[in-house]
Amino acid sequence: MAQAVTQPKISLEVFLAMPETEPANEYIDGQITQKPMPQGQHSRIQGKLVNAINAVAEDAEIALAFPELRCVFGGDAIVPDVVAFKWNRIPFVEAGVIPNKFELAPDWAIEILSPEQSPTRLIEKLTHCLHHDTEVGWLIDPDDLAVMVFQPQQMVAVLRGEAKLPVPSAIPLALTVDDVFGWLRVGRRS
């Protein structure tokens, strides 16, 4: 389980000046927490999600998805497993050039629960995103084959099986929970 580094609270500015780590450190409520190293199922779902989102949204300049992108907003610096930004919200440094720093909340934040992670911490991150105008948050739990869905002013929904997963309104992507967990099966199937 990711552990907070035992040290007094520091400022966001001091945290952002620190060297990057692998896996990434996050800064939440004045505390530094290191993300766990992704494992097989986590990495597979993460890669397929980024590819699926970008396949329907990038060429049409609707949205862009990123894996493990640091987002600094609301006094915290978090690194969700997958984020997507609507095209008109990407802070391009010049025409078509992606910036290194994203100092805004994503439109879509996705976390994938790893065995050693605290679901409570991930829920806190997703609710922080929603409080800063994120449209949709997902918490994917591969062990339970379920996705918790977070949307503003709605109760959290736990979806399974053929349930259609909500996505930001601008992104033309249709996925069910079974589609997401189906990515864990690879190779030829008889």
Residue 189, in any domain of the structure:
no
CA distance 67 to 27: 18
The residue type at 94: E
Q: Could you list the mean pLDDT of each consecutive 10-residue stretch along the chain, which spans 190 residues?
A: 59 91 90 88 96 98 97 96 97 92 97 91 95 97 97 97 97 98 84
Q: Tell me, yes or no, whether 19 lies in a domain.
A: no
pLDDT at 122: 95
Residue 164 lies in a domain: yes
pTM of the predicted structure, to 2 decimals: 0.91
Strand spans (E) along 68-119: 71-73, 76-78, 82-86, 108-112
User: Is residue 85, in this structure, part of any structural domain at all?
Assistant: yes
Alpha-carbon gap, residue 35 to 177, rounded angstroms: 24
CB-based contact 175:165 (threshold 8 Å): yes
59: in domain = yes
Write the CATH number for 63. 3.90.1570.10
Residue 14 lies in a domain: no
Burial 25-50 (b: 16+ CB within 10 A, else e): bbbbeebbbebeebeebbebbbebbb
- The structural domain count of the chain equals 1
- pLDDT in the model for residue 5: 46
Q: For 75, which DSSP code?
A: T
Q: How many CA atoms lie within 13 A of 2 on its CB side?
A: 24
Helices (H) and strands (E) counted in the chain, each on its own, are: 4, 10
Domain assignment of residue 7, yes or no: no
The whole domain housing 60 covers 36-182
Q: Give the CA distances from residue 50 to residues 17, 47, 92, 149, 183, in Å, rounded to whole numbers and listed in that order.
A: 28, 5, 19, 18, 13
Tell whether 86 is covered by a domain.
yes
Query: What's the pLDDT score for residue 116?
Result: 83
